[in-house]
Structure 1
Amino acid sequence: MANDGPSNMIDPSIFDYLKAHGEEELEVGDQLHKITAALNRHVSTCQGLLSRIHSTPSSKLAPLLQQVEHEGIKPEIDSVGELAQFASKYPYYKYNGRWARSIQNVVTTILLTGWLGGLGTESRPGELGRLLTIEEVGQILKVPVNLKDRDAFHITIEEYILALTDITEELSRLSMNSVTMGDIDLTVRISGFIKDLFAGFQLLNLKNDIVRKRVDAVKYHVKKVEDVIYDLSLRNLIPKNEAGS
């Protein structure tokens, strides 16, 4: 006859453990959602300000970049600091998928602002066409990069590379709008930069499918800018030696 009483074959503490850790994961997830939601709002503000570059000649970018730094990037830095402090209490690769896209977008705004001449320091003044390294991005955000020696929040190589592909897309668009604004020199500079960046990408041994696909898509941005340069050359608006640079 079957025994209807409670079984003593399973230790009840097993389920107590699962319950406690399940509740902890929910709490961690909720807090990460709140932090990343605030971060995403700051990113949207920064992206909105940066969208004005498409109607602002490069000679008049300085006031806009100062506004981007103060109203966009500074709040991003504060939010990333809050995220880093909280996330570093837990296993990085267990939760990093919750903020990876947000951090990529932050890095994109920083790289684009730096390329346009913003985010300069006394030791290294801002200049048009400057590509910030991943280490410089980490210094701006006040967080480590590419950590290998401990389990804590950091900026990854993958996030940096994906952000680079994002700025090539934004700069290819800017190259066309610069022509409309009569800023031919900026278009030529963008062309040279995107070509050099794509050439650099070809040296990388990319194993991640997402990163490889995004890098492969950069060639379409290169082609778009090349078409703009070719059209300008046909109209004799740029010297032939610059068109081929």
Structure 2
Amino acid sequence: MIDQRIFEDLQTKIDEETTVRDELHDIVQTLARKGRSTQAILSRAHSTPTDQIKSVLDDATVAIIAQKQDVARLKAVADKHPFYKYNNVWSRELQNLVSSIELCAWLGGLQEYKGPDSTSFMTVEDVGKFLEVPVNLKEQDAFHLTIEEYLLALISMVEELSRLAVNSVTLGDYERPTQICNFIKEVFAGFQLLNLKNDILRKRSDGIKYSVKKVEDVVYDLSLRNLIPKGSAA
């Protein structure tokens, strides 16, 4: 009653999708491996004095550039297929990369890739330009960096900065916690302007207030001990 060729055609389509996913997974695994290396390099910032941070940023920039090449490979394959059908394959690793880019830029790296109005972090347009990928495409089904991925990456960067504020104190740097505090307060204020519909994004953004409180406590303790340099609050 049923033509068996129907199921044979379905199996052919399944095999084709499996082949595409396997190819994407291979690229993403390489991206993930290099991403762990990048994060390991940036983690050295937690134990490196500010006046010696340049060597960390130089190494991180090299690692990020290597990941950028993998993104180009990923884009070349992903552009041939429906974006949201395979987006979950690379989304997490792309977020991690953007977070590393943001942290490196905030610490003083990647200066040549910041826009003229970007003083402390790279905008989503800056990141897209650096990675050479479109941002928030709506009229074209192709590989791109979504707004949600960018915002999730920014949240991860804020969490890392709150940890850096604590570790900066142990290094005797009492000015950086104030800089971090001012920055993440501005980020938190920006997120409060957003009407977020994405459940994961909304839950993650709620956690920014805890990062703010953590850094505020550090700054408060420093101020009680008169350890904050005069004028640093500005």
**Which TM-score band (shorter chain)?**
over 0.9
Unaligned runs of 5+ residues in structure 1 are 1-8
* Aligned: 1:52 with 2:44: yes
Moved >3 Å (runs of 4+): 122-125, 239-243
Q: Secondary structure at the match of 1:195?
A: helix
Deviation at 1:11, TM superposition (A): 3.2
Letter in 2 for 1:89: K
> How big is the shift at 1:12?
3.6
**Shift in Å, 1:62:** 1.3
- Give CA-to-partner distance per residue, 1:112-165, whole Å, 9 cap, x none: 00111101118869x9x6110011101111111111110011100000000111
For the residues of structure 2 that align with 1:44 and 1:123, how far apart are their CA atoms? 24
> Contact conserved, 1:233 with 1:239, CA < 8 A, in 2?
no
**Partner residue of 2:7 out of 2, 6, 15:** 15
Distance 1:240 1:181 in 2: 19
Structure of greater Rg: 1
1:204 aligns with one of 174, 194, 208: 194
Give the Cα–Cα distance (whole angstroms) in 2 for the partners of residues 30 and 163 of structure 1.
Answer: 25
For 1:71-220, list aligned pairs within 5 A.
Answer: 72-121=63-112, 130-220=120-210
Q: When the two structures are superposed, what TM-score results if normalisation uses the length of structure 1?
A: 0.90
Post-superposition offset of 1:13: 3.4
CA-CA distance at 1:104 after TM superposition: 0.4
Q: Which moved more, 1:113-122 or 1:171-180?
A: 113-122
Residues 100-109 or 15-24, more deviating? 15-24
Say how many residue pairs are matched: 233
- Residue segments in structure 2 that go unaligned for 5+ positions in a row: none
1:160-192 CA deviation, whole Å, 9 max, x = no partner?
000111011100000011111111111110000
Amino acid at match of 1:85: A
Return the match for 2:57 from 54, 65, 83. 65
Deviations 1:18-54 (A, max 9, x none): 0110110111111111111000011001000000000
Change (3 A) 1:240 1:66: closer
Q: Aligned partners of 1:57, 1:68: CA distance in 2, in Å?
A: 16
Q: Hey, what's the Cα distance between the residues in 1 that align with 2:11 and 2:200?
A: 35
State the Cα distance separating 1:229 from its structure 2 match.
Answer: 0.5
Identity of aligned residues (%): 53
For residues 133 and 50 of structure 2, the distance between their equivalents in structure 1, rounded to whole angstroms, comes to 30
TM-score normalised by the chain length of structure 2: 0.94
Kept in 2, the 8 Å contact 1:178–1:184? The answer is yes
